Amino acid sequence: MAAVLYCGVDVALRMNRARFIDSEGEECRKRLSFPNDANGATTFLRELLQTLDRGDFNEVRIGMEATNFLAWHLAMLLTQYQGLAASHLKVFMFNPKVVKAFKDNYPDRRKDDWFDARVIADRVRFGHPLPRPFDPDDRYLPLQRLTRHRFHLVKQLVREKNYFLSYLFLKCSTLAQGGPLSSPFCVSATDLVTEFHSPEEIAQTPLEELAHFLAERSRNKIAKPDEVAREYQKAARHAYRLPEKLKDPVNRIMASTLRTIRHLQKEVKMADKEITHEMGGLNTPLITISGVGPVFAAGILGEVGDIRNFASDSKVAKFAGLTWKRSQSGDFEGDDSNLSRTGNPYLRYYLTEAANRVRMHDSEYKAYYKRKYDEAKIHKHKRALVLTARKLVRLVFALLRENRPYTKPEKRS
């Protein structure tokens, strides 16, 4: 039976703390603290090798929490060091939520870095389940960093838009409930609510002048600007009224938020261009799926990496967190089962966004989405979309595994 050395490293900005245990849970060397820099990592590596030799271990398992990039350099150094190849080294990066849930089982739990290192070591030792070992692929690292940055920008953009909408309700409540134009963020709509001082001003502006304003700002893309103007005036008349002293601050905040939104939109477009350029050097069958495109394909590839790391599509789905917690007691099983949140959020996002596009271009996925939408009792769109993403995982796995382009199945007569 293999003798395994387990190590838990509590990683921090300046100082890391490590504890080493054997298969019985007994500590096999003194605790080690080392700086979180290149010299400190070399010290840890030297002490690790000495511990392996003294204890006659032939395998080593190391666990850390995936907190920002604090553990990234150390994990890279360990996985790339050839001197550990004979020890079948595996490094596991845990979601902090998983470690916290495991720590809650300790009766004497406390907030202490040395105790946290021991908890991580125990979590590696007990396993069941363990995350996929840290093994970054150089081919996909640039894609991963770029697509994760894009994810960050999109999340910021969503937050800013929600912030703007909250102030839109404060200024003109009825427009936040749904205006006559398709989006409250189109140029015509945003110019209207920021350049007109209040709902009263919108309501009192001559209809012809308001219609001309909308036509000009939309570059004559509004088919019937007079009807749209009439709807805006109707909404303005029914809106709540702000106290006079609040009107200027609210307008300044909305204008500032809009500038941030426009800036983030430009940054997302720039990120898309950079991702598309990076994808030019890769030949992947994912872009043959109608609606996926290079950006979403890059988001999937950047997280999945080499598909051979996954034994089945269900393993990919689990890695992405596209699985559900069962809600069952006795003979009762609830309809509202929650989606797992312990998977890779980036992969889950790009698979879901890709599924949303694919259902708009592919008749098979469109029909599947509609069927699941009709079957759902609550959260219809979200449930149908996540199930469509789970279906897409099977296709992604097959195409990458077989390295073949996607061809739509022929319709049965």
Domain at 37, CATH number: 3.30.420.10
**Which domain, by its residues, includes 325?**
283-402
- Helix spans in 196-339 (H): 199-204, 207-217, 225-238, 244-279, 293-304, 313-320
Query: Could you say which of 276, 293, 313 is where a domain stops?
Result: 276
Q: With 50 as the cut, is the pLDDT of residue 13 above it? A: yes
Same structural domain, 234 and 206? yes
Is position 268 within any domain? yes
- Helix spans in 280-408 (H): 293-304, 313-320, 345-361, 363-375, 380-402
56 or 163, which is more confident: 163
Give the number of domains in the chain.
3
Confidence of residue 108 (pLDDT cuts 50, 70, 90): confident
Query: Could you say which of 276, 298, 320 is where a domain stops?
Result: 276
* Residue type, position 115, single letter: F
Locate 75 and state its tokens: 């994990």
Pairing of strands 32-35, 4-10: unpaired
Cα–Cα distance for residue pair 241/232, rounded to 1 Å: 15
Angle at CA 172, nearest 5°, toward 171 and 178? 135
CA-wise closest residue to 84 among 55, 38, 50:
50
Q: Which residue in the block uniquely carries the two structure tokens 């937050």?
A: 159
Same structural domain, 359 and 389? yes
Same structural domain, 271 and 304? no
Same structural domain, 200 and 296? no
Percentage with pLDDT > 90 across the chain? 72
Locate 218 and state its tokens: 């939309």
* Residue type, position 291, single letter: G
CA-wise closest residue to 16 among 25, 38, 104, 126:
38
CB 318 within 8 A of CB 348: no
CB 10 within 8 A of CB 113: yes
* Concatenated DSSP letters of 66-111: --TTTTHHHHHHHHH-GGGGGGT-EEEEE-HHHHHHHHTT-TT---
Is position 411 within any domain? no
Neighbours of 227 (CB within 10 A): 12
Is position 343 within any domain? yes
Is position 413 within any domain? no
- The average pLDDT across 57-71 equals 91
Same structural domain, 262 and 382? no
- Cα dist. 17→44, 101, 169 in Å? 10, 20, 50
Same structural domain, 118 and 172? no
Cα–Cα distance for residue pair 200/205, rounded to 1 Å: 9
Is position 349 within any domain? yes
Cα–Cα distance for residue pair 341/321, rounded to 1 Å: 6
Q: What pLDDT was estimated at residue 135? A: 85
Q: With 90 as the cut, is the pLDDT of residue 136 above it? A: no
Listed in order, strand segments (DSSP E) in 102-236 are none
Confidence of residue 231 (pLDDT cuts 50, 70, 90): very high
Same structural domain, 382 and 337? yes
Same structural domain, 271 and 289? no
Is position 202 within any domain? yes
Same structural domain, 253 and 350? no
Same structural domain, 67 and 167? no
pTM of the model as a whole: 0.84
Query: Could you say which of 276, 296, 321 is where a domain stops?
Result: 276
340 or 331, which is more confident: 340
Is position 407 within any domain? no
Q: Which residues are registered as beta bridge partners of 21?
A: 6, 27
Confidence of residue 325 (pLDDT cuts 50, 70, 90): low
Is position 244 within any domain? yes
Same structural domain, 72 and 188? no
Confidence of residue 328 (pLDDT cuts 50, 70, 90): very low
Residues 354-404 have pLDDT tens digits of: 999 999 999 999 999 999 999 988 889 999 999 999 999 999 999 999 999
